[in-house]
Amino acid sequence: MHEDVTLPMTDCPVCAEKTLVFAQMDHDTLVHRCVHCDTITTLIEWREPFDVVKSGYRIDGVVDPNAKRGCRGGACGIRQPEV
């Protein structure tokens, strides 16, 4: 992954955690929504891929060297809650 890539994240008030967001046209307005619950958000942070992985997401080619293996360690595409 190119080192200049950043991804949009927010502190979702509904999910009560930091989540990725996506952009969508709502009539003639561009809005950003939580990828988990579709809540519209206005506070966007552009994060480095490694920060996104540390938040619990999986991105091909970005690995936390200290992570455990398996789903809870980020080695699969399913986000798991911390235990």
The more confidently predicted of residues 3 and 13 is 13
The CB density around residue 27, as the number of other CB atoms within 10 Å, is: 5
Dihedral sign (CA 3, 51, 55, 61) = positive
- Least confident segment among 14-28, 36-50, 58-72: 58-72
Mean per-residue pLDDT over the chain, rounded:
82
Show the beta-strand stretches assigned E in the chain: 7-12, 17-26, 29-34, 40-41, 45-47
Please state the separation of Cα 37 from the chain's center in Å.
Answer: 13
Please say if the pLDDT value at position 4 is more than 90: no
Tell me the per-residue pLDDT of 49-70, one tens digit each, with 9 for 90 and over: 888 888 888 888 776 666 665 6
